[in-house]
Structure 1
Amino acid sequence: MMKLLALFVVCGCVVLADGPAYSDDTPEVDCDNANTQMEMNICAGEDYDAADADLNAQWKITRKAMADIDADIDEPDDQGAEKALLAAQRAWIQYRDGQCEAVAFGYYGGSMRPMVEQSCLADLTRKRTEELKAMIEEP
């Protein structure tokens, strides 16, 4: 019985030592050569972070352009470009998050679910960035 208990203790330590280490620090991964699912998940997250940063930069530009449009309209009742943009962006965020969550449910319980969701977020975010750019381009 004592040998069995000792075996469980040793096995438990091995399981703990081999288990994933969760911390705020994400390990550095060469995303051009990601091989494990964990690496691919990390890279998908980094890709989404980059797409989100681009979106936020474009958002500032587009929002300012919409505010400028409002400033050029003499009648206050006719203004609303910036307000409309903000409403559209809030609706888009709801859509993006819900859509990607729904897509990821197809992989429920699987280790690639985070990658699928993050990839979806990155894809839709890039598309939205292009839409924001197109809103302020000259026809």
Structure 2
Amino acid sequence: MRHTDPVVLSIALALSGSVQAETIYSGEFDYRTFQPSSRYFAGHAPAEIAHLCDTGEHASTADMEQCAHAKFERAEATLLHKFDAVATAFRKSDSEAEKENEPLALPHISKARSAWINYRDETCYSVAYKNGPASSRYVSFWECMTTITQAHTKELDALLKSPM
């Protein structure tokens, strides 16, 4: 039987108590580094993925993170399509304004878009970090990103419907 020195043991215990274990939920993250959900779910049928995401049946935390991520990816694709429509409408409006030597709209909506992206990202990072390194951090983050993105899509739709 091996004898352990009590002093060495107490130092080891003291050190082990002060070391924090790193997990994927520790520290800051950059959502742009997440792999696309299509890569994560590669090899699975769309019906299988839909069932997993809709029911959560037999889903791991990583599965649920990617389900929430996939929902955001769809919302963002819709937003980008809507923003393209807004930019097209503003370009048309700007061509008329340019003839009259009037200020242009497109540069302003482009600045607003950049500011909005920063607002969305920072808001959702704060949502993700508010509960500490919880395993639901990324699910909360992606749900926030989706909700804010869908709301902005509706705002852009209303902007398109307003007289220009």
* TM-score, scaled relative to structure 2: 0.65
Where does residue 132 of structure 1 map in the other structure?
156
1:83 & 1:38 partners in 2: Cα distance?
Answer: 40
Q: Tell me what 1:40 maps to.
A: 64
Q: Hey, what does 2:92 align to over in structure 1?
A: 68
Once the 2 structures are TM-superposed, how far is the Cα of residue 110 of structure 1 from its aligned partner? 1.1
Q: Following superposition of structure 1 onto structure 2, how do residues 1-139 of structure 1 map, counting pairs within 5 Å?
A: 25-27=39-41, 28=44, 29=49, 30-35=52-57, 36=59, 37-73=61-97, 74-76=99-101, 78-138=102-162
Q: Kindly indicate whether structure 1 or structure 2 has the higher relative contact order, using CA contacts under 8 Å at least 6 residues apart.
A: 1
In structure 2, the residue corresponding to 1:80 is in which secondary structure? coil
Partner of 2:14: none
Q: For residue 75 of structure 1, report the CA deviation from its aligned partner.
A: 2.5
1: CA distance, partners of 2:53 / 2:76: 18
Please give the secondary structure, in 2, of the residue aligned with 1:109: coil
- The DSSP-based 3-state class of the residue aligned with 2:113 is helix
How many angstroms apart in 1 are the aligned matches of 2:53 and 2:116? 29
SS at match of 2:64: helix
Q: Matches of 2:126 and 2:79 in 1, distance apart? A: 22
TM score, norm. by length of structure 1: 0.76
**Structure 2, unaligned runs of 5 or more:** 2-34
Moved over 4 A (4+): none
Q: How many correspondences in the alignment?
A: 117
Aligned to 1:99, what secondary structure does the other structure show? helix
Give deviations 1:18-37, integer Å, cap 9, x for gaps: xxxxxx53134321122432
Mapped to 2, the partners of 1:33 and 1:127 lie a distance apart of: 25
- Return 102-111 or 55-64, whichever deviates more: 102-111
Unaligned runs of 5+ in 1: 2-23
